Chains A and B, each alone.
Chain A
Amino acid sequence: MSAAPNLAIFDFHQHMGSLIGIPGGGGANATVEADVERRLAFMDGAGIAQCALMPGHSYSAPRGAADIRAMNDDLVAYRRHAPDRFPVIAATVDPRHGDHAVAEVERLAGMGVQALSWHNRMQGLPIDHAVMFAIVEKADKAGMAIMAHCYANGDFEAAWRLRRLAEAFPDTQFVALDAMTSPENLELILAIAEVVPNFHLDMTTTVLGVDGVRRCLDRLGPTRLVFGTNYYSMGVRSTLPELDLVRGAGPTDEALALVMGGNARRILRLD
């Protein structure tokens, strides 16, 4: 891995936990201490100064809303191990919990959570379900950012569904994660971002190489793309292609600084 410590890199896309019911799903369970140690070693090796932490979105919740509250509490507690490195928590609420999910947003805002995140194809309802509008309305009032996976062919997490939310809440910042997971998906997301100013994207799990980044910068300029790694708990990374892709796209120094951290900090109101 090639380090770039002078950029104050912000990783917009890290997960705590693992995935259930998803073949090849990332992550492994471990003690918090072991996970923090491994994560910080990864970040140090890659020159990543800070990150936003999400849960793994395919979880077991047999106690329903109580399990989601516990998972979010764990995320907030995790931050305390290194608050300067994990300044942002992007918690989740389960859309299938209906009104209980809406209520959880208020609790999270009171705990200092700055963003909400979803992987709707793992969470059982579409991004643009009526429940999601009610949830985002609460998040909007609390000044939270919205981070939603829009994996290619993801059905419930299709980018056009996220667009409906972004247009309904123009003062909230939305980031489509996993945007570059197919050429068609990126085209769709770029087309949306061109006309929806609060719509951003990241490059995690990209299949498009340097061209995906170049295309994004060319169409949208440097202010709409954020860097992310999709690191899961206890992950082992020998390479960090996302970093090389951004550099390989040949951005100006100013654009590089925005993509690698400036945009994320603005979206998450860290500045």
Chain B
Amino acid sequence: MPGYLDVSLRFVDPLDDFRLFDAVADQRALVEAYTRLAPRGLGGPGEPAGQCVLAPPTYYQTAAGVEAMRAVNDFVLGQARARPEIAAAFGVVEPKYEGHAEPELERLAAQGVKGVVWSGRAQGVFVNDALMLSLCAKAHDLGLLSMYLTAPYSSNEALWRILALARRCPDVPVIVSGAMQGYDNAQHVASMLDDPGNVYFDTASWSGSSGFIQFAGRLAEKERLVFGTGGSAPADQAAGKLRGALAAAGLSEGRIEGVMHRTARKLLGLAENRA
């Protein structure tokens, strides 16, 4: 079976997008949430050689401030170290924790984390604010890849804000997670396919619409499309669905492999993991 790398698997409660996880008290629920979505095999007979990048829950309880932020990062890192199908971990840093955000980026980098996830909605900031630009640059300097969540109808993490941020740091690659979730956002992506490309898009929340497939090939040609679920579906299931759709759209096997894992591995500096 061909391989994949889910670049944005994160802890999600399927019945509540905004569930406020407690990184200490809810560890069992977090593990259950992960298990529901996780790649099932590492390339055994008849099984996919699936791997994932594990990201923190978008919404977690912050009553303990910096300690809560560190706890959720430590939990994700612990899971990543314990499970062979997790190829890398992403962390979270609260932009508004003045004086504590950059040190946490440094701590994450020292721990071997590969990137950091930013959510304008959950973190109560506008993604194109100068504060976010400075943190994106700092993360890049530390070797951390920035992933920005986007949601339809969100002002804080509107796609245009992420693209505005990316234009201000053209040498810094960033991944946008969730841009395929809404029709308008997907059209927005389609309209800027020929823009200079430090922006990569994952496939999280792709509904299977043919409209997406029409421009997925062009994104794939530019090596700017990466497979990622955002926790919206079990990784194996989503990988099979996407691979089938890309093949049906006429993408070459090489392009499909690029989308399914190679582009992301290159971005993250990860070795191949094939059965």
How would you classify the secondary structure of chain A's contact residues: helix, strand, loop or mixed?
A: loop
Do A60 and B63 contact each other (CB < 8 Å), given the known contacts A96-B20, A155-B154, A155-B156? Answer: no
Complex partner residue of B123 from A23, A97, A124, CB under 8 angstroms: A124
Complex partner residue of B65 from A22, A67, A154, A155, CB under 8 angstroms: A67
Complex partner residue of A96 from B59, B66, B99, CB under 8 angstroms: B59
Q: Which residues of B contact A101 (CB under 8 A)?
A: 63
Complex partner residue of A60 from B64, B96, B121, CB under 8 angstroms: B96
Contact check, B63 vs A124: say whether CB atoms are below 8 A apart.
no
Q: Which residues of B contact A63 (CB under 8 A)?
A: 65-66
Contact check, A65 vs B63: say whether CB atoms are below 8 A apart.
yes
Contact check, A64 vs B65: say whether CB atoms are below 8 A apart.
yes
Tell me whether A235 is interfacial, beta carbon within 8 Å: no
Cα distance A8–B155 in the bound complex, in angstroms: 37
Interface size counted on chain B using CB atoms at 8 A: 36
Contact check, A155 vs B96: say whether CB atoms are below 8 A apart.
no
Cα distance A66–B62 in the bound complex, in angstroms: 11
Q: Which residues of B contact A110 (CB under 8 A)?
A: none
Do A156 and B96 contact each other (CB < 8 Å), given the known contacts A23-B128, A96-B62? Answer: no
Interface size counted on chain A using CB atoms at 8 A: 34
Q: Mark A60-82, 1 if CB is under 8 A from B, else 0.
A: 11111111000000000000000
Complex partner residue of A23 from B20, B100, B122, B126, CB under 8 angstroms: B126
Q: Which residues of A contact B129 (CB under 8 A)?
A: 21-23
Contact check, B122 vs A124: say whether CB atoms are below 8 A apart.
yes
Cα distance A67–B122 in the bound complex, in angstroms: 18
Tell me whether B109 is interfacial, beta carbon within 8 Å: no
Tell me whether B183 is interfacial, beta carbon within 8 Å: no
Contact check, A129 vs B96: say whether CB atoms are below 8 A apart.
no
| Residue from A67, A97, A155 whose CB has the most chain B CB atoms within 10 Å | A155
Contact check, B130 vs A23: say whether CB atoms are below 8 A apart.
yes
Do A121 and B155 contact each other (CB < 8 Å), given the known contacts A20-B96, A21-B96, A23-B128? Answer: yes
Q: Which residues of A contact B131 (CB under 8 A)?
A: 20-21
Q: Which residues of B contact A202 (CB under 8 A)?
A: none
Contact check, B61 vs A96: say whether CB atoms are below 8 A apart.
yes
Contact check, B97 vs A124: say whether CB atoms are below 8 A apart.
no
Cα distance A61–B130 in the bound complex, in angstroms: 19
Q: Which residues of B contact A58 (CB under 8 A)?
A: 96, 124-125
Task: Tell me the residues in window 6-36 of chain B with beta carbons closer than 8 Å to chain A beta carbons.
Answer: 18, 20, 22
Q: Mark B86-114, 1 if CB is under 8 A from A, else 0.
A: 00000000111111100000000000000
Binding site for A on B (CB under 8 A): 18, 20, 22, 59-68, 94-100, 121-126, 128-132, 151, 153-156
